[in-house]
Structure 1
Amino acid sequence: MKAVTYQGIKKVEVKEVPAPSIIHKDDIIVKVTACSICGSDLHCYHGMIPSMDEGYIVGHEGIGVVEEVGKDVTKVKKGDTIIIPYNIACGKCYYCKNNLESQCINASQYEIGATYGCSRLLGDYDGTSAQYVRVPYANFTPFVVPENSELTDDELLLLTDALPTAFWAVEDAGVKGGDTVIIIGSGPIGLLTQKAAWMKGAERVIAIDYVDSRLEHARKTNKVEAYNLNQSSELAAIVKEMTRGGADVVIDCVGMSGKMTPMEFVGSLLRLQGGAMGSLELATQVVRKGGIIQVVGVYGTRYNAFPLGDLFSRNITLRMGMVPAIHMIPTLYDLVQTKQIKPADVISHHTSLEDAKEAYQMFDTQKDKCLKIIMKP
């Protein structure tokens, strides 16, 4: 089969690889009908994820049709169309039973959650950017798309990761009626988080990014106040004054993929630093005393000069983590099905799996106002 494979820093290639097969009795094999590139995939693309070997199949967002089922599978059958959540989880451990399936203890050998296409560190599972993928724990993880579904492939794909991430961000942060919410980053996750913040009753939603086209999209589609980080070296102070002391909630949707300082770049190359920290530093500067910073942008392991004292002295609550998407998908599916939220405006491009190399380059450089790319095998 054909699959998108990691071939070194900023290099992916579509290669012929062995097709997956049933390994465990509760596995299924899925014929992928559509997959997408996530901002988190760029961490792999940039070589920021440890244990990422050349030839590794990448991607963690996909939908498809069940081709083969293990003998113990009862939830799905051959021919079902399914959403493949980015989480890989057993459904039986303490964390899975308490809506924290992103920290399943059985899906990975490490003290960390598991997902597709993200190296040995996150469970060592082949990615979804391929013609076929093995989906483990099939009695828990997949969401079976109803036969009468009116959702497009684009909408279904956003339910694998992006939309659950956005809604979990505002829920975990406790966004409530009347809040001022600042969202750092206006990529697909940031744009969807803006929508979710309005739905949770926010009175004011402010977007910060350094890409004008994304800020323009945010203003147009989500009716937010939007500011370019490059427009002023005093932007943090301006925003804090404008919000009369800072936002109630600040959500970091960027993570380690922000702009690195020279020291961060060198430290990251030497594995002494887990990437950029600029967006988190900005969050500490624009949140009010006693406010909440929510982090859903992916960060690496260790960070130098972490502003712990700034957080402590101002009674800031810092919340973060890998999003438990599986239990959220049914509710979010209903919201999209009933058109209470229309998420597909974050998708800007469609292409073939064969063109993955060019798609990654476009996504990485934001060429042609690229926001999110859907690929068809």
Structure 2
Amino acid sequence: MKALTWHGKSDVRCEAVPDPKIQDGRDAIIKVTACAICGSDLHLFDGIMPTMEKGDVLGHETMGEVVEVGKDNAKLKVGDRVVVPFTIACGECFFCKNGYFSGCERSNPNAKQAEKLWGHSPAGLFGYSHMLGGFAGGQAEYMRVPYADVGPYKIPEGLTDEQVLFLSDIFPTGYMAADFCNLKGGETVAVWGCGPVGQFAIKSAFLLGAERVIAIDTVPERLTLATKSGAITLDFMKEDIYERIQELTQGRGADACIDAVGTEPETRASVDSVIDRIKVATFMGTDRPHVLRQAIQCCRNFGTVSIVGVYGGMLDNIPMGSAINRGLTFRMAQTPVQHYLPKLMERIEKGEIDPSFVITHRATLDDGPDLYKTFRAKKDGCIKVVMKPFG
């Protein structure tokens, strides 16, 4: 079958790989009808995620049609249309039973590798390094899904692939970012990063009762899309973000601040972001937390900082004195997609949101390597790429 594979920094290829096979009775094989390139995939493309191996199949935003089911899987049948959460969960361990599916204790066969870096291992993830399981991803014609009686969610009649594909990751992640803000109604929420996750965080904040959303980015197309969703937009290359948020909130600060950027902010954003980049390039640091620092400083006393941007290692020069003395709450997680998926599917069915609004590019797997580069360079107005392996 065809698949997009990783061969090193800035080297993604579309090539033939072996078809997946059932390995466990709870498995399923799906024929991929739609998949997407995620902003998190760019961390792999940029070579900053360890334990990737040449030939690894990429992708963790996937949906399709079930074509084979393991003997112990009573939930699915051949022909079912399903969307597949990027977090792999057994459904039986302590964390799964408590709804923390992304903390699953059983789904990462390489948990010891993750423990060396993080102390404990999160769940296994599709297409996202051997430290997180070494599972083949879904930017392919076919995909094996472990624990397929827990993860894949059947799609109701009448919904298109493009309406539900993003339930695999970015819609639940953006919604979780807003959910973490504990909104009661009437709040001002600031969102750093107007990529796909940031766009869903903006939409979700309004759905959950925010009165104002301040969206921060510098890419014109992203800012335009945020404006269409009702946000006040700030260009960090043209304005002092702290001063503008102070002005917009009469000196109080935002009620909640969402970091939807993570470890790779725009290097030109500030002096500290340039220093971060130098530290990473000279192996003196692992992450570049400029956005997190700014979010902390811009949050009001006893406000919430919600972090959904991806960080991988140790963060430097975080203003913990500000956070502690002003009573900030931090909420963060790798998204437990299975927890959010049913309620978000219901919102789509009711017409409260059509997630396809973020799509700017539609393509085939053959176009994938070039579109990774386009997405990374933010060229051609690229916000979100959806690929259809079979056209």
- Tell me the TM-score range normalised by the shorter chain: over 0.9
CA distance in 1, matches of 2:369, 2:131: 24
The counterpart of 1:236, out of the listed 233, 242, 256, is 242
Alignment of 1:305-320 (within 5 A): 305-320=317-332
1:303 corresponds in structure 2 to 315
Farther off after superposition, 114-123 or 264-273: 264-273
Task: Please say if residues 34 and 153 of structure 1, whose CA atoms lie closer than 8 Å, have aligned partners that are also in contact.
Answer: yes
Of the three residues 213, 230, 234, the one matched with 1:223 is 230
Instruction: Give the conservation status (yes or no) of the 8 Å contact 1:184–1:190.
Output: yes
Change (3 A) 1:262 1:218: closer
Code of the residue aligned with 1:361 in structure 2: it is: K
Q: Deviations over 1:44-69 (max 9, x none)?
A: 11111110111111100111111111
Q: CA deviation at 1:328?
A: 1.5
Residue 114 (structure 1) aligns with? 124
2:27–2:146: 8 Å Cα contact kept in structure 1?
yes
Matches within 5 A, 1:31-46: 31-46=31-46
RMSD over aligned CA atoms reads 1.3
Deviating above 3 A after TM superposition, structure 1's stretches of 4 or more consecutive aligned residues are: 260-263, 269-272
Q: Give distance in 2, aligned partners of 1:18 and 1:54.
A: 15
Task: Select the residue among 174, 177, 202 that pairs with 1:169.
Answer: 177
Residue 132 of structure 1 is matched in structure 2 by 142
SS of residue in 1 equivalent to 2:140: coil
Secondary structure, aligned partner of 1:371: coil
Report the Cα offset of residue 231 of structure 1. 0.6
For 2:383 and 2:253, the matched residues in 1 are separated by: 28
CA distance in 1 between partners of 2:297 and 2:327 (Å): 13
Q: Structure 1: how far apart are the matches of 2:196 and 2:85?
A: 17
Cα displacement (A) at 1:263 = 3.5
> CA shift at 1:259, angstroms?
2.3
Counterpart Cα distance in 1 of 2:126 and 2:281: 24
User: Which of residues 336, 344, 359 is equivalent to 1:332?
Assistant: 344
**Who is 2:211 aligned against?**
203
Q: State the partner residue of 1:15.
A: 15
Q: Which residue in the other structure is 2:116 paired with?
A: none
What SS class does the counterpart of residue 255 from structure 1 fall into?
A: coil
What does residue range 82-121 of structure 1 map to in structure 2 within 5 Å? 82-108=82-108, 109-110=110-111, 111-121=121-131
C-alpha distance in 1, partners of 2:220/2:57? 33
The residue number in structure 1 matching 2:167 is 159
Number of residue pairs matched by the alignment: 373
Q: CA deviation at 1:303?
A: 1.5
Shift of 1:270: 5.4
Aligned: 1:48 with 2:58: no
**Aligned residues of 1:26 and 1:70 also touching (Cα < 8 A):** yes
Partners of 1:215 and 1:226 within 8 A in 2? yes
For residues 251-290 of structure 1, what are the structure 2 equivalents within 5 Å? 251-260=258-267, 261-269=273-281, 272-290=284-302
**Aligned equivalents of 1:53, 1:269: Cα separation in 2:** 21
| AA at the equivalent of 1:89 | A
| Aligned residues of 1:272 and 1:303 also touching (Cα < 8 A) | no
TM-score by length of 2: 0.93
Compute the displacement of 1:311 (Å): 1.0
Correspondence 1:250 to 2:257:
yes
Secondary structure of residue in 2 paired with 1:292: strand
Q: CA deviation at 1:271?
A: 5.1
Given that 1:83 and 1:156 are in contact with CA atoms closer than 8 Å, whether structure 2 keeps it comes out as yes
Aligned to 2:115: none
Q: TM-score, normalised by structure 1?
A: 0.96
Gap change, CA 1:138 and 1:270, over 3 Å in 2: farther
359, 365, 376: which one aligns with 1:347: 359
2:286 and 2:328 map into 1 onto residues whose CA distance is 23
* TM-aligned CA distance change 1:270 to 1:126, over 3 Å: farther
Listed as ranges, the matches of 1:181-196 within 5 Å are 181-196=189-204
1:365 aligns with 2:377: yes
The 3-state SS of whatever aligns with 1:367 is: coil
* CA drift at 1:241: 2.8
Q: One-letter code of the match for 1:284?
A: I
Cα deviation, residue 269, structure 1: 4.2
Q: Matches of 1:302 and 1:272 in 2, distance apart?
A: 10
The CA distance in 1 between the partners of 2:381 and 2:26, in whole Å, is 42
| Change in 2 beyond 3 A, CA 1:22/1:339 | same
One-letter amino acid matched to 1:215: L
